[in-house]
Amino acid sequence: MATKKKSALRSTPKRKTDADLDEFASGAGNRSSTQDIVYPWEEPHIREDVKKNLPLRIPEPLYLKLKYIADHTPYSMNSFILERLTSEIEEEVASLTD
């Protein structure tokens, strides 16, 4: 009769020891230098040419205003939003990472 292999998966997570928890807690509040921080957008696998979709729900009047802008300027709705949003995102990230 074949013996049943024990699965590598566990039904319950490994319990943390008090020493593990104390070590974790002792690091709370200690910020590493900014040179050690790698932000998600700085990861080596992130590519500028990859575009991500972001569904955006906006009120109908705002949508119609945006459509009006697109109809009466060289902008598409997407390019108008992207140009305005990029500067706002960069400013907010700068204030959060300083």
Whether residue 67 has pLDDT greater than 90: yes
Determine, yes or no, domain membership for 74: yes
Helix (H) or strand (E) holding 36: none
Q: Pick the closest to residue 67 from 54, 58, 84 (CA basis).
A: 58
User: Over the stretch 1-57, which tens digit does the pLDDT of each residue have?
Assistant: 666 666 666 666 667 677 777 777 777 766 655 567 889 998 989 999 999 999 999
* Contacts for 81 with CB less than 8 Å, ≥ 6 apart: 56, 66
Domain count, the chain: 1
Global pTM reads 0.57
Asked if residue 39 lies in contact with residue 97, where contact means CB atoms within 8 angstroms, the answer is yes
The DSSP code for 27 is T
Determine, yes or no, domain membership for 8: no
Determine, yes or no, domain membership for 44: yes
Determine, yes or no, domain membership for 71: yes
Alpha-helix residue ranges (DSSP H) falling in the chain: 18-26, 60-72, 77-97
